[in-house]
Amino acid sequence: MTRRHLARTTPLAAALLATALLAGCSGDDDPVVTTTDTSSATEDAGDDEAQETTEAPADDAEETTEAPADEAEETTEAPEEGATGPVTSADGAFTLTVPDGWTDVRSLVAEDVEVAVRAGEMSDDFFNNVVITGEPAIDDIEGTIEAAAEDLVGDDGSYELLDPIEIGGEEAFGYTLLREQNGTEIAQTQRWVNHGDTLYVLTLSTAASQQEEGEALLTEILDTWEWQD
């Protein structure tokens, strides 16, 4: 394989690597940096409240009793607000909307990934996920994408080229492939689209048994894609 060919398949390989990380991580393994900070803050707050409670009059105690109810209401409403907004790419070039219950897991993958989201629950022992990477634009996507697919499926996998579609008004080429990952057969759909000086590679990954649902899911996501420039 030539160096030029390797360079052109780099974004695809990077996306599949990120996909492997997301699919193999359970919710229990998600980063807990904020939990550590919250615990420290809670302990500090508890010490301060304990000192204040010793000196506080009865009126203050009544106010303290009422406060948790208000906080509980705010906590209940916050997740709903966060779940409805679109996801913005790391470079700010586009936004898209993912299904309810999906979460932003960009912190689990490489810094050069533009978008990384996944379902909140596993389907057939696999986290359905979408990863989008960005690389310098290429001149001949149509002529490159089939060779890239052949490289990645190997001897045991299979692929099918897809008809071009538009993503936010830009022509996008793609294919689907079936391959095995860590003993699980998975289905993946990729779309490559140039926008300005950047090639964006979107990879949707599902368990093979969820391939049909995944195709419908991808259509819904792509319909929400909006360029921001």
pLDDT tens sequence across 203-227: 999 999 999 999 999 999 999 999 9
* Six-digit token string for 138: 């290429």
The pTM score is 0.68
- Tell me what the pLDDT averaged over the chain comes to: 73
Instruction: Please measure the distance between the N-terminal and C-terminal CA atoms of the chain and give it in whole angstroms.
Output: 36
Query: Average pLDDT, stretch 99-121?
Result: 89
**The pLDDT of residue 71 is above 70:** no
DSSP summary character for residue 85: S
**What is the number of other CB atoms lying within 10 angstroms of the CB of residue 31?**
10
pLDDT score at 203: 93
Helix axes 58-84, 33-55, angle to 10 degrees: 160
| Mean predicted confidence (pLDDT) in 91-116 | 91
Pick the closest to residue 203 from 2, 4, 7, 21 (CA basis). Answer: 21
More confident residue, 157 or 193: 193
Fold for 3-29+87-227, please state it.
Protein Transport Mog1p; Chain A (3.40.1000)
State the Cα–Cα distance between residues 202 and 130, nearest whole angstrom. 7
